[in-house]
Structure 1
Amino acid sequence: MSADVLEVQNRNRPRRARYRAINAIILTIALLAALLTLARVAVVVTGRTLFALGGADGRVSLVELPQLLQAELADGATGYLADLELGMRLLGASPMFVQAVVFMVAALALVRIVAGVAKARPFSGVVQSNWKLLTAALLGGGLLQGALDTVAFAYFGSRIGLLFGSGMDVSHEDKASFLGATYQGIGMGVPQWPFLIIIAGLAALALAAAFRLGAKLEREADGVV
């Protein structure tokens, strides 16, 4: 191996080490965020905390449903999130599940992009495909998350008579059967749309277009040479 090649390798070694450190940080943050989000999904779906020490009752309040701000039981009534209709719990947790998937898919795509840049191949086919994956994860996943939360909000509101005048069509018995208990006060928030993720997806879309243009110019330059 020539001295020039060794010199280039030695010069690039610190840069590649920095890129590896960046990738490790990206994956660690994404994994922790995804695990915390999935833990929250498990709590909502089961209606119970993941850990109940000392034989304590692990059931959580209905207000832990992401679409709610308030859930006040009627006098003498007892009720928990676990008593809520299972389909509603699954629907209510679905936006968070999508968010966890977005975290991991976006992180994996970003790591592959960084790896391509570290190898001085920013316009390679692998990098281009991962720009598309990153855009789809952020933009598509963000829109899906917001849509699911809107559906969950509308479904819950219609079942308890808080949406579009549906209260006239929901009896106290039906409401109690759906909720699993009698509540004297329930407050709902508004559908949550992950605007930061969607904006990041739009930024990734613009960057992907720029990298495609760079790849095209690189191919044209190679053809001229």
Structure 2
Amino acid sequence: MPVFYRAAPWLALALTLVASPALSASGPPPGFVLTDNPGLGFTSPDGATRLEQYMKDSDDLFGVKWQVWARRGDQMTELKPEQGYGAGFRFTNDSQWLVRMQKTGSGEQDLFLYHLENGVFVSATKKKSLSDLAWAYFYGRSETKHFAKLDFHITANLLEGTENAYQELGMNWPNNRYLVIGLGGEYDKHPRNTVMKGLGGWRCRYDLQTGKFDVPAIFAKENAAALKWEVKRE
């Protein structure tokens, strides 16, 4: 029994090291090949981080796997989770934050947020994806909590503008502080006189410092229209 208690701290340390993203394996496992698609390689504004995407092919389309690895010098860290498609990425201008725009199916997309900590990009939202948090915020608001659940082409998009604090949207926000997210989706079943019906690009803002969402007043008009989005048959 005494031996067990002396060994426990070493076991705890070993588990900590295994879980630490900074001490991940030095690269992808066997079978994963670096994609030669130049559109799937990304470099941080400061040039210190290079994102590499590796694919493991399969005869079964649903068996294809993709991993993303962040290379900083001679260190490589996997940006989880592993997915079935390649992804797009955007850094904030200070290279401290990274958003993954992850295709999950035809016309569907999730968002994942990472933060640079001790030289390693780690998940900034822990147990849930950034898109899951955005959808929870959407359905938790008074004007949207009774909005019928979408079931088709559900997507969360990161609007362009992270590199200049969304100046093209007419904003005067601090640099490297906010993300603008657009939510959309459709209903599989809709009235016969419509081609598509659902949510058409409802926007919210995510504060990287506080981890909270809000809706700036400037989005109000477009968001009201987004809640009534539909395409009528001609």
TM-score normalised by structure 2 residue count: 0.24
Q: Which has the higher contact order (CA 8 A, sep 6+)?
A: 1
* Bigger strand share: 2
TM-score normalised by structure 1 residue count: 0.25
* Bigger helix share: 1
Choose 1 or 2 for highest CA Rg.
1
